Amino acid sequence: MKNDKLPRLLEFDVIKVLAIFLVLWGHAIMHFTSEDQYSFSAYQFIYSFHMPLFMMLSGFFSASSMRVSFKELFYKKFWRLIYPAISFGLIFLGVNLLWDYFADYKGNSVNGIKYMWGIFWFLKSLFVCYIVLYLCLKLCDGRKLPASIIAIVFSQVCPLFMVNWMLPFFVLGYLFSYNFSKFLQYKKLLFAVSLLAFAICLHYYDAACIEQIQEVKQRLLLRDLGAITDLMKIQMSRFLIGFAGSVMVISGVSIIVPCYRNSPMMLLFAKYGGQTLGIYILQTLILEIIGFRLIDLRGMNTILYSYIVCPLASLFVMALCIFILKWIKPTPVLNKLLWGKLG
């Protein structure tokens, strides 16, 4: 199947909705308690693969963007990804500063520059991934495999917005789109193999290894050669579980969806699959700013908190985000102000 004419696939709408739900669930676990999020098994599960899954999906649908001019690519992706990150980032920064001022917050004040740099890091990382892969394809005269290898190698020296971690999955998604028909032929086998691989990786995986990366890099600066091996182990474990989890979800959904294609639930997935960008942005205000300041459920039973309260809260926040998006969309001035020319 040539991906320049890929239809809008229900399977991928379902995956996108599931992926954004996992984002909300993980953020709820993180921000509704002051306890260490790494102590929750649900958090370990979610953060092992949910962002690689999103990046693979983005790469899957990126092929058409790789055939336009660089000017057109930059223009479209800037307004699609960077402009909302700036507009909503400024709004959320203002909310943070006003909240801290009127609440007489005694903690560390918000650093405006640092906040704007870090907020919506995924959108900025995605923008860089588009640009890097595009330039590599032009460098290699459109040859996909050499361009992909160069892009992945380059990404490893580009820690900006976690591109070194995200771009390999973006490239895999891009390559995957050219072999999707073969994937569908072997989806049951791929699901079984990826499920087994994911279960094995998850058994040994520790999401807290992310916190160890900076420590390892400091050791590298001190010329500790043993840090190279430690860094490779961390990155390889993150890549393997991220890839296995992503393939597991994509193949699993591809098996299930055809059996229930006309069900009301699938129609809902199809309806809201295209709104994950807006949900991702708005949940930042609800979960990461308001929820973080108003809710602290520490001491609650771990199972009740992570597997019942947080998923239910995530569904509520998702519904609230969809309602807000419906309210914004019919208002041209507000829509353009927040989302830019492509809003």
Residue-number span of the structural domain to which 36 is assigned = 1-48+262-327
Please check whether residue 17 lies inside any domain of the structure.
Answer: yes
Q: How far apart are CA 284 and CA 27, in angstroms?
A: 9
The two tokens of residue 148 are: 């992909």
Q: How far apart are CA 21 and CA 214, in angstroms?
A: 29
Residue that wins the pLDDT comparison between 109 and 65: 65
Name the pLDDT band for 269 (thresholds 50, 70, 90). Answer: confident
Please check whether residue 93 lies inside any domain of the structure.
Answer: no
Please check whether residue 312 lies inside any domain of the structure.
Answer: yes
* Model confidence at 319: pLDDT above 80: yes
* Model confidence at 209: pLDDT above 80: no
Q: What pTM did the predictor assign? A: 0.87
* Model confidence at 342: pLDDT above 50: no
Please check whether residue 200 lies inside any domain of the structure.
Answer: no
Please check whether residue 222 lies inside any domain of the structure.
Answer: no
pLDDT for the residue 7: 42
Please check whether residue 272 lies inside any domain of the structure.
Answer: yes
Which range, of 48-57, 198-207, 278-287, averages the lowest pLDDT? 198-207
Average pLDDT, the chain: 84
Q: What is the dihedral of CA 266, 271, 274, 277, to 10 degrees?
A: -100
pLDDT average, residue stretch 26-55: 83
Name the pLDDT band for 19 (thresholds 50, 70, 90). Answer: very high
* Model confidence at 343: pLDDT above 50: no
How far apart, in Å, are the Cα atoms of 96 and each of 103, 111, 112, 124, 328?
10, 10, 10, 21, 22
* Model confidence at 277: pLDDT above 60: yes
Q: Which residue, among 274, 52, 269, 312, has the nearest Cα to 167 in the 3D structure?
A: 52
Q: Which residue, among 74, 75, 77, has the nearest Cα to 138 in the 3D structure?
A: 74
Residue that wins the pLDDT comparison between 277 and 31: 277
3-state SS assignment for residue 186? coil
* Model confidence at 32: pLDDT above 90: no
Q: How far apart are CA 252 and CA 15, in angstroms?
A: 10
pLDDT for the residue 1: 42
Q: Which residue, among 152, 154, 142, 150, has the nearest Cα to 178 in the 3D structure?
A: 142
Please check whether residue 14 lies inside any domain of the structure.
Answer: yes
Domain count within the chain: 1
What pLDDT digit, counting tens, does each position of 122-163 carry? 999 999 999 999 999 999 988 999 999 999 998 887 778 888
* Model confidence at 179: pLDDT above 90: no
Which range, of 5-9, 103-107, 306-310, 322-326, averages the lowest pLDDT? 5-9
pLDDT average, residue stretch 210-214: 66
pLDDT for the residue 98: 81
* Model confidence at 39: pLDDT above 70: no
Please check whether residue 97 lies inside any domain of the structure.
Answer: no
